Structure 1
Amino acid sequence: MIDQRSSRLQAAYCEYIFEVFPGIDFRRWCEWGEWGDDYRAFAVVEDGRVIANTSVSRMRLRVQGRDIVGYQLGAVGCLPGHRGRGLARAAMTAALAHCGDAPVLLFANETVLEFYPRFGFVPRPQHVFGVEHSAAPGPAPAPVVDLADPAQRASFRALAAAATPISDRFGARGHGSIATWYAANDLASPLRALNEDAWVFAKIEGDVLHIDDIVARAPFDLREQLPRLIDRPIRALRFGFTPDLWWPQAQPVEVEADAYLFVRGLAMPSLPDRFPVLART
């Protein structure tokens, strides 16, 4: 097992990620000190090299209004030259043993969708929620937060740890270290600080505002704050999470085509949902 104290094996893990998942990188995230105690890699190591792996993130899940301790798996795979030896299965088995009877979820690669049902996982479609809504920019835009700055990153982590739920239907809490991974890889939307207690990941595409996550100590009127998140007029909103708490009128507008979510040991509501995009590993 590789944890936050395994500096030498962390480097080997980063090399494994680079080889198995082109375009994905853990090095900057590790340099930022974001590998915490909630993230562990169950790796098969041979001659100092990680050749197969399943990583585990301990999560504070929010399901039907209740906080639940669960886990999310990620970085599941095996180096091409070592496939066919059952190593990925061995790593998965070790990871699931660590999770015990707790709920587990994962987002799969479309090339291995048949692998996870063998371990008791069932697929769950994810929906994009949206609403037609027009807004124009206001005179006081919210400043952009630079998570590459250690002080701002520390403030973000503290806020994320204390944040109000993003969804009561199906979401996560305290996933700041996962969101910083997206920022470290330049995959996160710009983060804007409405005030010291309310930060929002959002971007505009065309005339649609995509709100990917809201990190706030308490609920606030999102509609009222929209002019501070935009620099040109918009006509619609799309949400990177289930917006039951922030915009209840929003409805599913499409199935998220490339989000292959699998869950195990988790009783889910029948209503459509979207697990937060910045809480996915």
Structure 2
Amino acid sequence: MSSQPTLRILDHTDLALHPAYCDYVAQVFSQADFRRWCEWDQWAPGYRAYSLFEDGRVVANASTMRQRLIVGGEEIVAFQFGAVGCLPERRGRGLARRAMQAALAECGDAPALLFANDSVLAFYPRFGFAPAPQALFEAPHAVEPAPRRAPQLDLADPTVRARFLALAARAAPTGGRFASRDYGRVATWYAANGFAAPLFELDPDTWVFAREEDGVLEIEDVVAAAPSQAALAAALPRLIERPVRALRFGFDPEQLWPQARASGPDEDAGLFLRGLDPSRLGPHSRFPVLART
């Protein structure tokens, strides 16, 4: 066994090394898997993994996804980190730190963000990341179901997936305070792992991830060329099978449903920012859940 693991920067072209990366993710993150996402051919040029290899295995890693963020109404290029960690038996040797340093060196001065779990909240401030609060948004709104529900689509179908990615590439952001553009390949990761809400096609230019539970309709995301509150309100009856009394949003609905209010902090978000002033996000914001890596 070598004493100094070798750094490799993996991109979408390194197909022979993708299985080792997928094995690493499965060992470090119990609820994450990249195998099906890779089978769907979703690893695109904007996603890079800074992996430390030892005897053919990835033992530590930090990945980045290039993203087009909307911050305070301005579009900026930033990098979102994910899959940061180390194999359990190799921890305590500074390997995850080395992977982070390599990834940050490639990012340069560009802003960065990440969503961390509770076990590593003390790790990221060492690299200049600062925690930033996120909010939950809800709105009272009674809706009765329509006679016919909107068609439900399956992103496992390559044709559906191609249509979705094309729409996501030109979709308008759902908000202006803290949002993103063209994150279709992040959303497909959630679908590939069974984490995304059902996907409905309202019309060719408007697709909605939504689920109803206990009288609440969660609108996880709206992927639309020209989203509007009027169009969404008219479509709500086609998203449900039973009456609902309230709406919950997986993004900041300040533009799409302005009467929604922050209902409390998102305790599970664990957002950290680097090179971004949290005050630019406003007092309450919610980065789209399907855009989080």
Instruction: Give the TM-score range, shorter chain.
Output: over 0.9
After TM superposition, give the deviation of residue 140 of structure 1 in Å: 3.1
Shift of 1:271: 2.1
Partners of 1:117 and 1:32 lie apart in 2 by: 35
* CA offset digits 1:215-263 (Å, max 9, x no partner): 0011232111111111110000000000011101100001112110000
* Superposed displacement of residue 141, structure 1: 1.6
Matched, 1:77 2:89: no
Distance 2:126 2:158 in 1: 42
Q: Distance in 2 between matches of 1:219 and 1:87?
A: 44
State the secondary structure of the residue aligned to 1:252: strand
1:272 aligns with 2:288: no
TM score, norm. by length of structure 2: 0.94
Are positions 1:136 and 2:144 aligned together? yes
Larger mean Cα displacement after TM superposition, 225-234 or 263-272: 263-272
How far residue 275 of structure 1 moved from its aligned partner, in angstroms, is: 0.5
Alignment of 1:107-126 (within 5 A): 107-126=115-134
Compute the displacement of 1:119 (Å): 0.7
User: Structure 1 residue 234 and structure 2 residue 244: aligned?
Assistant: yes
Distance 2:193 2:154 in 1: 13
Distance 1:269 1:186 in 2: 30
Between 68-77 and 215-224, the greater mean CA deviation after superposition: 215-224
Greater shift after overlay, 47-56 or 132-141? 132-141
Name the counterpart of 2:5: none
Amino acid corresponding to residue 272 of structure 1 in structure 2: H
1:13 aligns with 2:25: no
> Structure 2 unaligned runs (5+)?
1-8
Deviation at 1:102, TM superposition (A): 0.8
Query: Which of 223, 247, 267 is the aligned partner of 1:257?
Result: 267
Structure 1 equivalent of residue 105 of structure 2: 97
Q: How far apart in 2 are the matches of 1:39 and 1:135?
A: 40
Structure-2 separation of matches of 1:25 and 1:4: 16
Shift of 1:171: 0.7
Q: Which runs of 4+ in 1 moved over 6 A?
A: none
Q: Which residue of 1 aligns with 2:3?
A: none
Q: Which range moved further: 264-273 or 246-255?
A: 264-273
The one-letter code sitting in structure 2 at the alignment partner of 1:185 is: N
How far apart are 1:81 and its partner, in Å? 1.1
How big is each residue's C-alpha offset from its partner over 1:103-132, in whole Å with a ceiling of 9 and x where there is no partner? 100001111100101111110111110000
> How many Å separate the matches in 1 of 2:225 and 2:148?
21
Identity %: 58
Tell me the distance in 2 between the aligned counterparts of 1:206 and 1:153. 30
Matches of 2:108 and 2:52, distance apart in 1: 20
Q: 2:257 aligns with which of 247, 250, 257?
A: 247
SS of equivalent to 2:164: helix
State the alpha-carbon separation in 2 of the partners of residues 143 and 250 from structure 1. 26
| TM-score for the superposition, normalised by structure 1 | 0.98
Task: Compute the displacement of 1:84 (Å).
Answer: 1.2
Distance 1:234 1:68 in 2: 37
State yes or no: 1:53 paired with 2:61. Answer: yes
Q: CA deviation at 1:24?
A: 1.3
SS at the partner of 1:18? helix
What secondary structure is seen at the aligned counterpart in 2 of 1:160?
helix
2:73 aligned partner: 65
Tell me, what secondary structure is at the counterpart of 1:138? coil
Is the 2:177–2:282 Cα contact (8 Å) retained in structure 1? no
Partner of 2:281, secondary structure, is coil
Q: How far apart in 1 are the matches of 2:95 and 2:72?
A: 36
| Correspondence 1:145 to 2:153 | yes
| CA distance in structure 1 between the partners assigned to 2:56 and 2:16 by the alignment | 9
